[in-house]
Chains A and B, each alone.
Chain A
Amino acid sequence: MTTDNYISRYISIDQNGILLNGDIIYRADGKSGAELLIDAFKTSGISYPKFYKMDNLSKLAFLAAELLLADQGLRERYKAEETAVILSCANSSLDTDLRFWESVESGAPSPSLFVYTLPNVMLGEICIRWGIKGENTCFVSERFDVAMQTDYVDSLLATGCAEVVLSGRADYLNGQMEAFFMLVEKNPTSLDIHNPLTVQKLYDRQWKN
């Protein structure tokens, strides 16, 4: 017997702006990807100086997690070990890899760029911020493999490896970006059941469509 899990909140970020549960909470108004991330971060009133040191992929994922998890009482409701983060991306850390390579070519390799030359660093930034110690996995796939990722998250919840999962996708390359994060819980906190059809529907419901 399978037990349903629920998408309690979801967020989308792309060049057009930010949607939280499908509602517009920030408009890009022509800002570039990097400008949008910094402006949206400042607008949100979040105080976290390290944000400015992150690469663009981590900034994107961090901002999505901040806005998604705000006021959700995650730390109060779940133990650090029972909270998992499962993300995927298309271009891995290529955006930063290229910038790091430029710094190598210039004769002065940048340490602060080097530490972001792995895609799973974005998960680390989220976990540090939210004190998360559960499973962390980052898949790299050209397209969002909704069926696989949905099944993976449901398996974590069904086997007790996690009680709550921050799941989704974040990708950044040359100013083009997309993030789609969901908070998946066992408790029926919304009408959106966590299954491939619903996830695909919510993922497709972005500004670009």
Chain B
Amino acid sequence: MEELMKTLKVQIVEQLNLQQIKPEDIGDDQPLFVEGLALDSIDALELIVLLQQKYGIKLAKPEDGPQIFKTVRNIAQYITDHRAK
């Protein structure tokens, strides 16, 4: 899980072009939207693409997005839960 979160932070910075942020500056439980990294709806779509591209996971219920993408830890947990299936 720790290694996955570390990898995810690098991928998020790269996928979302967050050039002013270092991956290690993103907290495991830091809110990604509104506050924290202040990501927007387009970023949310990019995160969905990231899950599909890098992990082969398609978001089954889009309405679950806000909870899944709330923090890096939540994303990592979702990947862990769904990659095994």
A residues with CB within 8 A of B: 38, 49, 52-53, 108-112, 115
Contacts and interface: CB of A to CB of B under 8 A. Distances in A.
A52 B19 contact: yes
20 contacts: A49-B18, A49-B20, A49-B38, A52-B17, A52-B18, A52-B19, A53-B17, A53-B42, A108-B49, A109-B49, A110-B49, A111-B42, A111-B45, A111-B49, A112-B16, A112-B17, A112-B43, A112-B45, A112-B46, A115-B42
* Count class of interface residues, chain B: 10 to 19
A177 to B, nearest CB: 19
A53 B15 CA distance: 10
Contacts, number: 28
Interface in B38-76: 38, 42-43, 45-46, 49, 52-53
B48 to A, nearest CB: 8
Contacts of B16: 53, 112
B84 to A, nearest CB: 23
List of 5 A-B pairs having minimum Cβ-Cβ separation, nearest first:
A111-B45, A52-B19, A52-B17, A53-B17, A108-B53
